[in-house]
Structure 1
Amino acid sequence: MSQTEATCTCGKCFEGWLSSRMRERLEYSTELRYELSKSLLRTQDGVPDDITSVLPIDYAHIDTSVHYLPAAVRTKIGPSAPSEDSPAGDTVYRGYVAVFKVIKDLIDGEDADRDGFPSVSTISDRLSKLRDASGDSSARLIAAYMDNGGLAEYALDCIVDRAREELSPLGRHYDAENQYIDAVLESEWENHAACANDLDFPLVRVKLGLSAETLGVVPDDEADSRDPPSDDE
């Protein structure tokens, strides 16, 4: 069982808990989530209004990240085209995607902490500043997301949990493609010794300010996905 104290065995982890390999997984998970969501929006934006009004995109049934939002927020995400039931259309969803962009910018920006990873408090502070920024194109979307109950931790929870489920051997969705990616990354990691923190997701959650367990409920994840596969699987 993971501890909440630093368990570094390589001697090079950021503040004794975040290894280079774990950070790579989190950064790649952030990029995946943002790019996948952005591609959905690009698809929507490239389709004429007369078509989307008949065949709207239902993001809640397509984008896995939506399942990391509590029901009270998730139900406010309407389809791509505004309707009588969802007059705001996909504004809340676009605000949620904007949060992933904020996290990505915090990772890639000039002021980024090259060894650490954005925490709930860091992301929340940035969202508050952007929300109040006049003339910022994402301010309206972020405000819509937050005004409807959206929090920074929901996006971060998604990033960390999908890193575990899709990008680590602990997850049920760690398929051949992702194993290949790890094999490629191994050459980049050869200067970074393996560490006990490389797969310690519970420790990462605590250090980043998340709850001990994910709040996300993804339909295609097995109910026992937190348990290691048995010899019969």
Structure 2
Amino acid sequence: MSETKQTCTCGQCFEGWLSPRMKELLDYSTELRYGLAKSLLHTQDGVGEDVTSVLPIDYTHIDNSVYYLPLEVRHKIGPSTQSGDAVYRGYIAVFEAIKDLLSEERKDFPTVATVSAKLAELRDSEDASLKPIAVFLDNGGKAEYALDCIVDRAREELTPLGRLYDAETQYIDAVLDGEENHEKCANDLDFGLVREKLGLSVESLGALPDDDEDSRDPVSDDEE
């Protein structure tokens, strides 16, 4: 038995590392990130062009998922850049692609390789609504930026390991309340293992404005 499989204590982890509770966290984080961005786009699209040409939405100051993009890509998003809107829409299309992959009722979570392959397929589509994906990729965008955001926001917002976790919500304990056959597992909070298996860097590359290295909780024993 491999070392990875030995970390599973519930007997239900996908390939011995992705517990049902962790899977639920990542699924929910994906929904949150995509839902916020989609609402911003609906707001932008619902305002007349005569107004948005003067007061366009600056996504970089509203959607914190943008801070998981490297500076050279992030600087291409915003009202001051000609392609900024298309780059942002392409980035959000990556979250949508991940969400669509999850709708296939898969037991795993899409890896960097899986999402990258999906984006390559979508960028060649004749569907005009998918053109922003090509713009995003051509401007330095990659699948791992969205996946990094999803995983890191899940840790920071939805579990006791994070600075933004609402203790009253107790998400990790309540998310599967009433569900059968979903026991707690040693892998439930092992984000380090998840990052490795998804093909992400050991540490998140996200740099939110109020983030600094000292403000983050230290890596737990489960994440090493």
> Gaps spanning 5+ residues in structure 1: where?
80-84, 229-233
> 2:126 is matched with which residue?
134
Quote the sequence identity (%). 63
> 1:75 is matched with which residue?
75
Whether the 8 Å CA contact 2:21–2:176 is kept in 1: the answer is no
Superposed displacement of residue 189, structure 1:
4.3
| Superposed CA offset, 1:93-141 (max 9, x none) | 00000000000000003xx42x111000000000000101123521x11
> In 1, distance between residues paired with 2:101 and 2:75?
28
Tell me the TM-score normalized by structure 1.
0.87
Whether the 8 Å CA contact 1:26–1:159 is kept in 2: the answer is yes
1:121 aligns with 2:113: yes
For 1:150, the aligned partner's letter is G
For 1:60, the aligned partner's letter is T
Whether the 8 Å CA contact 2:21–2:172 is kept in 1: the answer is no
1:170 aligns with 2:161: yes
> 2:148 is matched with which residue?
157
| Superposed CA offset, 1:55-90 (max 9, x none) | 2211011101000000010001122xxxxx412241
Superposed displacement of residue 191, structure 1:
2.6
> 1:213 is matched with which residue?
203
> Gaps spanning 5+ residues in structure 2: where?
220-224
Tell me the TM-score normalized by structure 2.
0.90
Per mean C-alpha deviation after superposition, the further-off stretch among 152-161 and 49-58 is 49-58
> 2:31 is matched with which residue?
31
RMSD (CA atoms): 2.0
> In 1, distance between residues paired with 2:99 and 2:128?
17
Task: Count residues in correspondence.
Answer: 217
> 2:81 is matched with which residue?
86
1:103 aligns with 2:112: no
> In 2, distance between residues paired with 1:131 and 1:167?
32
For 1:5, the aligned partner's letter is T
> 1:5 is matched with which residue?
4
Whether the 8 Å CA contact 1:22–1:199 is kept in 2: the answer is yes
